A and B are shown apart, each in its own frame.
Chain A
Amino acid sequence: MDGSSSEDDGNTRKTVSRITKSALPSTPSKELRIVVEKYNGVTPVKVDHIESQEDEDEEDDRQGTDLEMDDESQEEEVPVEFSKTTASVVGRNTQMKQLNAVIPDRSIPSLPGAVFLWGAPATGKSITLDKVLEAKDVHVIKIHSSEILCGRRAFFETFVKQLVRHTNLTLAENFKCDSLRLLYTNVYNYLCEKSLRVVAVIEGAESLRGEHDDILRMLISLQDITQCQICTVLISRLPPGHFMPNILDHSIIPVYFPQYTMEELNLIIVKQILSSGSSGSISSGSCEFFVTMIVSMFYYICRDLRKLSRLAIGHWDSFQKMIETSEEVNLTRLWKKLEPQMKAQFFQLNSSITAINSGSRKDQENANKTLEMPTNAKYLLIASYVATHNPPSSDKRFFVKSKISKVKKSRLAVKTDTNTKPTMRSFELNRLQAIFGSIQSYCDDKAMNKNRNISFMTLLTSLCQNKLIQHLGEDSCGNHKYKCLLDFDTVLEISRSVNFELNSYLYRLL
């Protein structure tokens, strides 16, 4: 909808900026940039995050074509990058100054070994660094750590290829770089021959931790071991203490990027709207008013520049139309009209970021899915939930007479201990079977349903496969242990659909 217009504007601006950049001979870095996508492809949540943005961005899956390094693949359309074309970075003066000092001019040989930029997502880390690097006479290697998913060899080779592209050298036919040693040898050779000054930027460096610690270590100490002018910049959203308690390197310089303040957010978004050129005849004052209203409305809930700016850009057109068409002069009243729509969209936007386990529509779907299960599967789920959340000793009370319609609360109430923490236990197969049997007979009696021949194990296996029940393995006696993974609300929903009073069968609710 509104996204299409802003996207077009974005593209044109990008092309313009690229032309100006390529006109400057001293900044070849942009031409060789590898795709930097602002996402971590590790957690499912983040993948959803990307998908949710795809309607606006033309981000497609470029991971495979990274090595080609086409010109087309340089565009970045993540909303936060909009301000790349603006002259200076709002609110990042201290950081800019520090980075400027870290990367001095060519004549001064004081490049530190490693710099560590950290801060919440969308706080201008990359853009500030880019701004600084643009003005300097250095070669930039830029690589996103998620490229490690293509394999270590691809990662190393991309690194070397980016380095070599800056020079006139060409790689040998049988160029191969699959170990840290070869990476070192290659880097060392090219750096020595050309006496280059290189800044290697690793984005999203936190996903290199763990399995690829050795690469991180190597990259950090690249200057030490080559004794050449190379500096590694790590960009991460985690603080240095979390990031590498075991890689406490003495040459690493941390630079912190705090979240934007409300005023800074206002400034940035107004700039984005104005630079997109769609403001038409409307004065910038009303634009400022509009943005200020949005930011102050949602500031308590969300400080993410990406979400706020998308919301503002998406609604700017309709607000403009309202100003033009209606007679109303008071902007506040106009705003009031737009507010409910905006709120609805915000919550939708907010929810779509992590579509997993959220969004009312999703929940319903989820509920429907569980409700569409065969009745026996529902019984089994209820049984497993009860087995997981009740201590085995209480089974007797609830199920010993399978046809009990009233739980004898009076007798049990003596023992209630309201402060006990609800605990989850694993249960054995035969216990589950027993509870299942009693629930089944109880409910079926109610429903006058006498069909009881089921294959218990098949049902259980399929539920395990759907991750509704977890198989925990065997204990020392050879009994299989299970655990229910559903939460209370879902099970309550299920039990309602089969007329089972779950609440009176839970030990913790007694």
Chain B
Amino acid sequence: METLMDQVRQRVVPIRRTGWTKTLVTLGYETEEEYLKSVIKQVVVGNSDGVKVSTSIMVYGPPGCGKSQLVDKAVKFHEKEHKQALDVVRLEGVYCFSLQDSVMEICNQIIDDDGAMLEGLGQDDSTPFDERLEGILYYLKNKLIETKKSLIIIIDGMEKFIDDSSQRLLYNLFDISANSAFSVPICIIGITTCVDILDSFEKRVRSRFSHRQINLIPKVEFPAYLGWATELLSLSNKKEWNLQVQSLLENKEVIKILRSLYEADRCIGQLKRLLYTATLMCDDTITPASIKDAYTQLFGMQCHVLMALDLPVSELVVLLGIFKKIQRSQQAWQPAEVFEIIKKPYASFQLRKDDFIKTIIKLQDMEIIVPVGGSHQNRCVSNLNESYYKCEISFVEFTEIWKTYPNLPSFFNEFL
């Protein structure tokens, strides 16, 4: 049974490249898209003289702004028209950041039907990869010439390719494309979130990308942003639902939340994430409260406060001691000093110093307190007392904890 809410969730689920088949929202990147298409066209169809030219282009943008979608759209557009004339290879920064991995991945994607040949070249581990590399590249070259197709290489997560071995891959690819003896036009499309990526590349690679760049910045005004939200939540041919959505997005609270999200991050990815989380909390209608909850859950969570509220009172006393300690001086402190401060209330729980040390270890495991100065390397029986710590909780959060902890014992007030 597919409920209404399920349909909505399908529209807002925050996965990448949902735009592969159909676009839900127009992001306003038409100019960029046309430009990218024209660049790819030079490789696939040819420039004004009908000659296919190798080229490369870099696409920048903050995470979740639609980079991959843009590239995919442009590539899909050409793939539809010139199916026979091009091959698309997609390299992902998350898993193929070494030269070996990327070369093997390219081979895999180009020659998927020719498994036997590949096995002879690549899967044999007896010889080191560097020796086999030449053979593989030669083979790859021949294969490309044979197919007489243009090659589009999409490198997603380009920032992972900046180390030496990955740059060798790029050299080799440029070699293949630049050599006029073989006519293999290659278009390398780099996608990255890192705007100064070109500085990390060597000169030779840098010069290839320096002339063609697309910088995607969501240039959306707030009304249009609200329009995105409406569009994402609305369902075609469900009038009643759409009216509900309309009234939801006219709610002042909701507008306020969306406004603050808009000021922080204008990308569509973040908006989708918010709406999706909101849909998880309700069954049939989205209420303003659920949007608010979702916003808290995603962005407004004071993690330290929540973690502290989970602690039993005896451990909260230790936190109190730490608080008093850092209130006096902001320097790193030793557990023994904290123990001196809270000795009396701690004894009222019938707990001893051992239990105190245990709590310190627990807090350290929760990463609420962090050892400083490399003292944690020598963690052993005797030096836990002597190592220095710093606290990760800020004063604002401490105040919040004392305010919200239920049934705080009375001696806390004396201390505070």
Query: Which chain A positions have C-beta within 8 A of B365?
Result: 43, 45-46
Complex alpha-carbon distance, A412 and B270, angstroms? 66
With an 8 A cutoff between CB atoms, is B167 at the interface?
A: no
Query: Which chain A positions have C-beta within 8 A of B306?
Result: 239, 256, 258
B357 near A357 (CB under 8 angstroms)? Answer: yes
With an 8 A cutoff between CB atoms, is B366 at the interface?
A: yes
A253 near B301 (CB under 8 angstroms)? Answer: no
Complex alpha-carbon distance, A227 and B90, angstroms? 13
A108 near B354 (CB under 8 angstroms)? Answer: no
Choice from B6, B156, B329, B358 contacting A353 with Cβ under 8 Å: B358
Query: Which chain A positions have C-beta within 8 A of B350?
Result: 343, 347
B108 near A185 (CB under 8 angstroms)? Answer: yes
Choice from A258, A302, A351 contacting B312 with Cβ under 8 Å: A302
The number of residues on chain B lying at the interface, defined by a beta carbon within 8 Å of a beta carbon of chain A, is 71
A301 near B351 (CB under 8 angstroms)? Answer: yes
Query: Which chain B positions have C-beta within 8 A of A94?
Result: 281
- Residues of A357-396 at the interface with B, using a CB-CB cut-off of 8 Å, are 357-360, 363, 366
Query: Which chain B positions have C-beta within 8 A of A248?
Result: 63
With an 8 A cutoff between CB atoms, is B384 at the interface?
A: yes
B9 near A108 (CB under 8 angstroms)? Answer: yes
Complex alpha-carbon distance, A43 and B6, angstroms? 43
A184 near B367 (CB under 8 angstroms)? Answer: no
B307 near A239 (CB under 8 angstroms)? Answer: yes
A259 near B95 (CB under 8 angstroms)? Answer: no
Q: Interface digits, B54-90 against A, CB 8 Å rule (1 contact, 0 not)?
A: 0000000001100000000000000000000000000
Q: When A and B form their complex, which 3 residue pairs have the shortest distance between CB atoms, in order from nearest?
A: A239-B303, A487-B385, A358-B354
- Residues of B281-340 at the interface with A, using a CB-CB cut-off of 8 Å, are 281, 297-298, 301, 303-304, 306-307, 309-314, 329, 331, 336
Besides the known contacts A101-B280, A108-B10, 19 further A-B residue pairs in the complex with CB atoms under 8 A apart: A110-B6, A112-B276, A123-B310, A180-B94, A217-B94, A221-B94, A224-B15, A237-B366, A250-B63, A251-B15, A253-B14, A253-B280, A256-B301, A300-B312, A300-B314, A354-B358, A358-B357, A485-B382, A486-B386
Query: Which chain A positions have C-beta within 8 A of B381?
Result: 356-357, 366
Among residues of A, the one whose C-beta sits closest to the C-beta of B3 is: A108
Choice from B64, B95, B310 contacting A250 with Cβ under 8 Å: B64
B96 near A354 (CB under 8 angstroms)? Answer: no
Query: Which chain B positions have C-beta within 8 A of A250?
Result: 14, 63-64, 267, 269-270, 273
Choice from A101, A183, A227, A300 contacting B349 with Cβ under 8 Å: A300
How many interface residues does chain A have, given as a range?
35 or more
Q: Interface digits, A215-232 against B, CB 8 Å rule (1 contact, 0 not)?
A: 001100101110100000
A239 near B9 (CB under 8 angstroms)? Answer: no
Complex alpha-carbon distance, A363 and B313, angstroms? 26
Query: Which chain A positions have C-beta within 8 A of B309?
Result: 258-259
Complex alpha-carbon distance, A363 and B354, angstroms? 9
Complex alpha-carbon distance, A225 and B386, angstroms? 48
With an 8 A cutoff between CB atoms, is B163 at the interface?
A: no
Among residues of A, the one whose C-beta sits closest to the C-beta of B358 is: A354
**Distance in Å from the Cβ of A238 to the closest Cβ of chain B?**
6
- Residues of B79-133 at the interface with A, using a CB-CB cut-off of 8 Å, are 92, 94-98, 101, 104-105, 108
Residue among B17, B303, B367 with the most chain A CB within 10 A? B303
A181 near B95 (CB under 8 angstroms)? Answer: yes
B303 near A241 (CB under 8 angstroms)? Answer: yes
With an 8 A cutoff between CB atoms, is B361 at the interface?
A: yes
What is the interface of chain A, defined by CB distance below 8 A to chain B? 43-46, 94, 97-98, 101-102, 104-105, 107-113, 119-120, 123, 179-181, 183-185, 214, 217-218, 221, 223-225, 227, 237-242, 248-251, 253-256, 258-259, 299-303, 343, 347, 350-351, 353-354, 356-360, 363, 366, 421, 424, 467-468, 470, 485-488, 490
Complex alpha-carbon distance, A183 and B321, angstroms? 48
Choice from A242, A259, A490 contacting B303 with Cβ under 8 Å: A242
Complex alpha-carbon distance, A108 and B352, angstroms? 56
B280 near A98 (CB under 8 angstroms)? Answer: yes
A183 near B95 (CB under 8 angstroms)? Answer: yes
Among residues of A, the one whose C-beta sits closest to the C-beta of B354 is: A358
With an 8 A cutoff between CB atoms, is B416 at the interface?
A: no
Among residues of A, the one whose C-beta sits closest to the C-beta of B90 is: A225
Complex alpha-carbon distance, A256 and B307, angstroms? 10
A358 near B276 (CB under 8 angstroms)? Answer: no
- Residues of B8-49 at the interface with A, using a CB-CB cut-off of 8 Å, are 9-10, 13-17, 20
Choice from A98, A123, A490 contacting B281 with Cβ under 8 Å: A98
- Residues of B349-395 at the interface with A, using a CB-CB cut-off of 8 Å, are 349-352, 354-355, 357-358, 361, 365-367, 378-386
With an 8 A cutoff between CB atoms, is B279 at the interface?
A: yes
Complex alpha-carbon distance, A224 and B269, angstroms? 13
With an 8 A cutoff between CB atoms, is B277 at the interface?
A: yes
Among residues of A, the one whose C-beta sits closest to the C-beta of B296 is: A256
B6 near A485 (CB under 8 angstroms)? Answer: no
Complex alpha-carbon distance, A303 and B358, angstroms? 15
Choice from B297, B304, B361, B386 contacting A45 with Cβ under 8 Å: B361
B380 near A180 (CB under 8 angstroms)? Answer: no
Among residues of A, the one whose C-beta sits closest to the C-beta of B407 is: A300
With an 8 A cutoff between CB atoms, is B2 at the interface?
A: yes
A485 near B383 (CB under 8 angstroms)? Answer: yes
A251 near B269 (CB under 8 angstroms)? Answer: yes
A303 near B311 (CB under 8 angstroms)? Answer: yes
B10 near A214 (CB under 8 angstroms)? Answer: no
**Distance in Å from the Cβ of A63 to the closest Cβ of chain B?**
21
Residue among A46, A112, A470 with the most chain B CB within 10 A? A112
B297 near A467 (CB under 8 angstroms)? Answer: no
Question: Known contacts A351-B354, A358-B358; is A110 also within 8 Å of B10 by CB?
Answer: yes
